[in-house]
Structure 1
Amino acid sequence: MANIAKRPNGRWRARYRDDAGKEHARHFDRKIDAQRWLDEVSASQLTGQYVDPRAGRVTFRAYGEQWRQAKPHRPTTAVKAEQHLRVHAYPAFGDMPLARIRRSDVQSWVTGMEKSGMQPSTVRTTFNTIRAAFRAAVEDRVIAASPCQGVSLPDVPRRKVVPLTVDQVRALAEGMPDRYQALVILGAGTGLRPGELFGLQVRHVDFFKRQLRVEQQVQQTKGGGTRVCPPKTKESERVVPLPDVVVHALVGHLKAFPAGPDDFLFQDPAGGPVVATRLMDGAWRPARKSAGLPKVTMHQLRHTYASLLIAAGESVKVVSERLGHTNAAMTLNVYSHLFPDSEGKTRRAIDGAFEPKIIKAADSVRTDDAR
């Protein structure tokens, strides 16, 4: 039920009751403005887009904490989300009611982070966390629209991936402790992400079919613990063919470090799955230094795998599937500079289509000249 009434002071009061029976009212100088407001409310109720005006009074900090704790983030993502909110967003507008935060407030915040010297990629990831929180507030009908819409973000310069060479991979493997040497060969020979490598159990490797299944990954948690969880995306669950060099490395590894079907293929010296920070500090960095390499990460083994497939002439689709990318566009975005230039192929394609007619025309000209 809604109505408009003129007050003794000459202003117009528009009021209505929501689905819960709560009354809401606003005062206007003109009756037409009061009617327009009621019409907008009625339309939002009919289309299911109604937002209780009182809901937006909750502060961004209060809603952000509720959202963060309820969201089923992966452990590493949860840590980053908490940091983005606590360090960057809450100091800027944590105590402001959600409904009072404007696009200009968010834009000023983004611009301020950029001017402070924060890397463009970090600005974007921080913004994405806050945008997700506001999107949830819209879906919860706490606010009608997100103030993140239309915000301009800094451009992220594209850095060309520089894969490790085969000789560099061999040098790294030789510098690693015995229990991790095959891990380096496996990373460069299959393109698995570090967490996927750590999550491999013996049962995931089929030596007869010469392939392995990616079904899980291991992530590090606070305090140096680990957590077994699903792969990064649905496409990350995949079957990867094993080249001979990897098969030989794994056979040698299992002879030196026997393990049962449900045991992790590579284990921490104290037992259980590999702990990433302990591996990096105790094995990877010393091996990198002994190999005389600049600062490189395990993820670059994945780039080596991709570059070798591309050099061998594999299609974008195949490379994407082997890497477990969401789509081929992602693969091209990262590795487009590694694909061979096709200028010659382009010329041959066009010449092949026009050549018969060109030759025929040339022969005709020569015949006419002879006459």
Structure 2
Amino acid sequence: MAVDSKGKKLPSGIRQRANGRYEGRIKYDYKSYSVYADTITETKKKMRDLKYKLEHGLFVSKEKITLDAWYKTWLEEYKKNRVKIGTYTSYEKYYQSVIKSRLGSRNLNDIRGEHIQKLYNDLVKEGYALSSIKIVSAVLNGCFKQAERNGLIERNPVKLAELPRQTEKKTRQAMTREQQALFMEYAKESYLYHFFEVMLRTGMRKGEMQGLKYPDIDRKANVIHVRRTLKYIEHHGYIEDTPKTRTSTRDIPLTAAVLEHIEAQRNYWGFKVVNMNQYIFCNERGEALSRERIQAEIDRIIKRIRAAGHDFPRITSHVFRHTFATRAIEAGMQPQVLKTILGHSSLAMTMDLYSHVLPDTKAEEMEKIANVF
């Protein structure tokens, strides 16, 4: 029976290598297979997993398998039925456009930490945003993590590389009260006036607004049920998907003002019959609004504002969400309540909004307690 470096007896089929790691060997169909881990417990688990995969035809031999070949197996067998279609297509987009040409032809076992690090560094030099590099890292990490579990590689090289540091934090953009009033005044004649009002009064994401249907408006409970988002998928068009995160599926209180705008929108296009499965905010043909039409209308309104002699920055639809959050914080809404309404996955995301808004009011707040001392 094999023993470890301290003379302790090891379980059958396990030995300790010179580098201190453990190797577990099993035989199946007259062939020997090995797994590697840092502990005996982890080695035994990997041996059980490997045996299961061998017996159920899920094992892929590591003999000169390229990243390209393994990626296809990983995406189709391990991810396709576990992630949202938007995530799936995002993985494909980044693999095909960024990873494939740089690492795809290499054998899995030949890819080391320095290769992953060089990829990150090259992407920084080429001007890729940190958010994009993080997606590339997520694809590679998931792919190699499963390869390690399957015994195709000894160690995940992605863990040995460091993501680039965030050099400059993106400033959140929100309209001031004056800009907000100015925009909505010039938006009154727009066919998206009610869309902008509801988004501004609820903080809903653009895709959630696009996917809103009449049954989502619960008059009895006085809430808006956020149950879906519209997402554009290349070569597929717009599809209905689940909201961004688990906490994004939520109920938002339905105020009288929001209900008034939704009712006004119901009659805007003058459809003789309103299909209850129809999107509330749609085009003149009753079809889903595209992101291009929404941005084009925002740009058209801003053009009119500027033509009237006002200075106004270019904004996107996401600014309405930040503007809602800013007004909510200014009005004293508690972070935990705002988190729930916005559908943030963590309180830290909401507090980040607070850190953006509060510097403008901290001097005023300090004055309130000046006389306490």
TM-score bracket for this pair, using the shorter chain length: 0.7 to 0.9
The 1:211–1:291 alpha-carbon spacing in structure 2 relative to 1, beyond 3 Å, is: farther
CA contact (8 A) 1:56 1:143 kept: no
Residue 261 of structure 2 is aligned to residue 263 of structure 1 = no
The 1:221–1:87 alpha-carbon spacing in structure 2 relative to 1, beyond 3 Å, is: closer
Amino acid at match of 1:62: A
CA contact (8 A) 1:213 1:238 kept: yes
Deviation at 1:299, TM superposition (A): 0.9
The 1:45–1:261 alpha-carbon spacing in structure 2 relative to 1, beyond 3 Å, is: same
Residue aligning to 1:149: 159
1:197-216 equivalence runs, <5 A = 197-207=209-219, 209-216=221-228
Deviation at 1:143, TM superposition (A): 2.4
Deviation at 1:146, TM superposition (A): 1.2
1:179-194 equivalence runs, <5 A = 179-194=191-206
CA contact (8 A) 1:169 1:185 kept: no
1:4-23 equivalence runs, <5 A = 18-23=27-32
1:129-148 equivalence runs, <5 A = 129-148=139-158
CA contact (8 A) 1:190 1:240 kept: yes
Residue aligning to 1:367: none
Structure (1/2) with the larger helix percentage? 1
Residue 92 of structure 2 is aligned to residue 82 of structure 1 = yes
Residue 55 of structure 2 is aligned to residue 57 of structure 1 = no
Q: Quote the Cα distance in structure 1 between the aligned partners of 2:365 and 2:232.
A: 47
Q: Quote the Cα distance in structure 2 between the aligned partners of 1:106 and 1:77.
A: 22
2:295 pairs with one of 280, 290, 301: 280
TM-score (norm 1): 0.76
Residue aligning to 2:44: 46
Deviation at 1:64, TM superposition (A): 1.4
Residue aligning to 1:218: 230
Residue aligning to 1:127: 137
Q: Quote the Cα distance in structure 2 between the aligned partners of 1:312 and 1:234.
A: 27
Select between 73-82 and 316-325 the one with higher mean Cα deviation.
73-82
Deviation at 1:195, TM superposition (A): 0.8
Q: Quote the Cα distance in structure 2 between the aligned partners of 1:3 and 1:339.
A: 58
5+ residue gaps, structure 2, are 1-11, 16-22, 51-58, 307-311
Deviation at 1:206, TM superposition (A): 2.9
Residue 175 of structure 2 is aligned to residue 164 of structure 1 = yes
Q: Quote the Cα distance in structure 1 between the aligned partners of 2:193 and 2:323.
A: 16
The 1:299–1:131 alpha-carbon spacing in structure 2 relative to 1, beyond 3 Å, is: same
CA contact (8 A) 2:24 2:43 kept: no
The 1:300–1:78 alpha-carbon spacing in structure 2 relative to 1, beyond 3 Å, is: same
Q: Which is higher, the Rg of structure 1 or of structure 2? A: 1
Q: Quote the Cα distance in structure 2 between the aligned partners of 1:310 and 1:39.
A: 49
CA contact (8 A) 2:24 2:44 kept: no
What SS does the corresponding residue of 1:240 show, helix, strand or coil?
strand
Structural RMSD (CA): 3.6
Q: Quote the Cα distance in structure 1 between the aligned partners of 2:230 and 2:245.
A: 14
What SS does the corresponding residue of 2:325 show, helix, strand or coil?
helix
Select between 205-214 and 51-60 the one with higher mean Cα deviation.
51-60
Q: Quote the Cα distance in structure 1 between the aligned partners of 2:36 and 2:331.
A: 67
The 1:322–1:21 alpha-carbon spacing in structure 2 relative to 1, beyond 3 Å, is: same
Deviation at 1:314, TM superposition (A): 1.0
Q: Quote the Cα distance in structure 1 between the aligned partners of 2:337 and 2:36.
A: 57
CA contact (8 A) 2:278 2:286 kept: no
Q: Quote the Cα distance in structure 1 between the aligned partners of 2:171 and 2:350.
A: 13
The 1:15–1:208 alpha-carbon spacing in structure 2 relative to 1, beyond 3 Å, is: closer
| Percentage of pairs with the same residue | 20
2:260 pairs with one of 248, 252, 267: 248
How many residue pairs get matched?
332
Residue aligning to 1:195: 207
What SS does the corresponding residue of 2:159 show, helix, strand or coil?
coil
CA contact (8 A) 1:169 1:188 kept: no
CA contact (8 A) 2:13 2:25 kept: yes
The 1:351–1:152 alpha-carbon spacing in structure 2 relative to 1, beyond 3 Å, is: farther
1:32-43 equivalence runs, <5 A = none
Deviation at 1:164, TM superposition (A): 1.6
Select between 45-54 and 61-70 the one with higher mean Cα deviation.
45-54
Deviation at 1:98, TM superposition (A): 1.0
Amino acid at match of 1:290: R
Q: Quote the Cα distance in structure 2 between the aligned partners of 1:328 and 1:39.
A: 36
Deviation at 1:114, TM superposition (A): 1.3
The 1:48–1:128 alpha-carbon spacing in structure 2 relative to 1, beyond 3 Å, is: closer
The 1:223–1:351 alpha-carbon spacing in structure 2 relative to 1, beyond 3 Å, is: same
Q: Quote the Cα distance in structure 2 between the aligned partners of 1:310 and 1:135.
A: 41
Amino acid at match of 2:321: R
Q: Quote the Cα distance in structure 1 between the aligned partners of 2:72 and 2:121.
A: 24
